[in-house]
A = this chain, B = another copy of it.
């Protein structure tokens, strides 16, 4: 299958313009799965709850989702899209998996970064995995990378590809995602945004680009530039992720010893 990313610079609050940009960029792309950045329709730095309410949408029938579904139907591909979700239980920093037949699944970000805690509720859907036929897909968002338990939870449910919409500002994640790939024998696709966002009374955020994709053995297929915009697609065989054999006698899952692992902090300081 052909999978990849679209890296670009969304403009804050300009949902219509961002959607046009995405549609134009993907209108002629030959791919099966494309991952877009976190919060790619709205931009990142909210300044009020009213703004969050106004810009977030239902991931089932919001106008952005309807346009994404139409795009998937037209192009016969799957999209993973980072989007601000408004629901009956509150607003979430979410990622949706959409296909030619519509909405497939939603992941709500579990590990919220910095002021996201002010604007979004903590994700309450765990780390689900969906089988789209071509591959089994899991999703995590940006800062989830720093918690190895996120990628592990996805891999332990037999995901082939970890899709990772991001708005990265710190420099560590691209290399860390190679580790996530190796330790789980899973393909990873990190779609990051570019540009700088400065909003009233907020610190200016510069996003590091460098969207990338790894094989299930941690080989880097590509890493885009810091300020590059564009689509990058590669051909992969996602079933390679189902081979967890590291050496003749080491199988990744058989070699785990959960009975020896400590899950919760035991100390007091």
Contact = CB atoms under 8 A, between A and B. Distances in A.
Contacts of A201: none
Contacts of A148: 148-149, 152, 183
Nearest to A113: B250
B258 A149 contact: yes
B126 A260 contact: yes
Nearest to A149: B261
Contacts of A30: none
A111 interface: yes
A157 B113 contact: no
Contacts of A250: 113-114, 143
Contact of A153 (B110, B157, B260): B260
A266 B218 contact: no
Nearest to A266: B157
Dominant SS among interface residues on chain A: loop
Interface stretch (A11-19, A205-213, A241-249): A241-249
A249 B152 CA distance: 24
A247 to B, nearest CB: 5
A157 B267 contact: yes
A29 interface: no
Interface of A: 110-111, 113-115, 117, 122-123, 126-127, 143, 146-150, 152-153, 156-158, 172, 175-176, 178-180, 182-183, 218, 242, 246-250, 252-253, 255-258, 260-267, 269
